[in-house]
A and B are shown apart, each in its own frame.
Chain A
Amino acid sequence: MSRILLGVLGVLGLFTFFLWNENSKLAELNQAFELRDKEQKLALETVRNDFVLQTSSLNNLQTQNKAIELEMSRYLDIFKRHNLTKLANAKPSLIEKRVNNGTKQVFDGIEADSKRIDSLDDGLQLQSDS
């Protein structure tokens, strides 16, 4: 009787060890899956954030380009609306002033635009931390 009991206890002990071992392996696996899930979520979030930033920046770029094109059209429209040859012939000194003012305005504009590009790296760390 006691031999049977010992045998049953032995089998139960082995079975318990097997279950405990399986449980440990599953716990480790679960931990690994949780980590992978966390990292994948982080990767997805980064990709999503990058996409949002790129989309908004591209939209902004297109808006700016449209404004630039409009400004150019507005400026060149002056020549379409006025007969410069006729005006220059009639009032050369007046047109001379206008033409020189216009040139100054355009050159100042280009200088101001280039100043904006030059100032983009002001206060920026150019070397990486690593």
Chain B
Amino acid sequence: MVCSCSLIPSRQQVDIITKPVERIIVQPVMPREIDLKEPYWYVVSDKNLKEFLIKVEKQEGQVVFFAMSVPDYELMAYNMQELKRYINELQEVVVYYRKVTIIDKK
């Protein structure tokens, strides 16, 4: 009688199992490459000022131009380098995320 009662299952056992689930992350389309147009820099000092003014008048029909001092040019160069650095570092971050999220099916 005692043996027979022990055969009746008294409760359901629930197992908690850790199982790796492969997440499929859809990779976004990468942005189109940059297409930059180069401006032309005129370097003007008192040695070629007259020559430059004549050239501008000939090209534009009047003497009008944007001018930039040497320290400001250096500032622009610094800004360009800073942008280049940021693009490159961000690119490396993109490469990192792609590497760790793309499932290697080998």
Contact = CB atoms under 8 A, between A and B. Distances in A.
B81 interface: yes
Interface string B23-34: 010111111111
Interface residues of A, number: 63
Contacts of B44: 92
Contacts, number: 147
Contacts of A76: 77-78, 81
A14 interface: yes
Mostly helix, strand, loop or mixed at chain A's interface?
helix
Contacts of A126: 26-27, 29
Interface residues of B, number: 56
Interface of B: 3, 6-7, 15, 17-20, 24, 26-36, 38-48, 70-71, 73-74, 77-78, 80-85, 87-89, 91-96, 98-100, 102
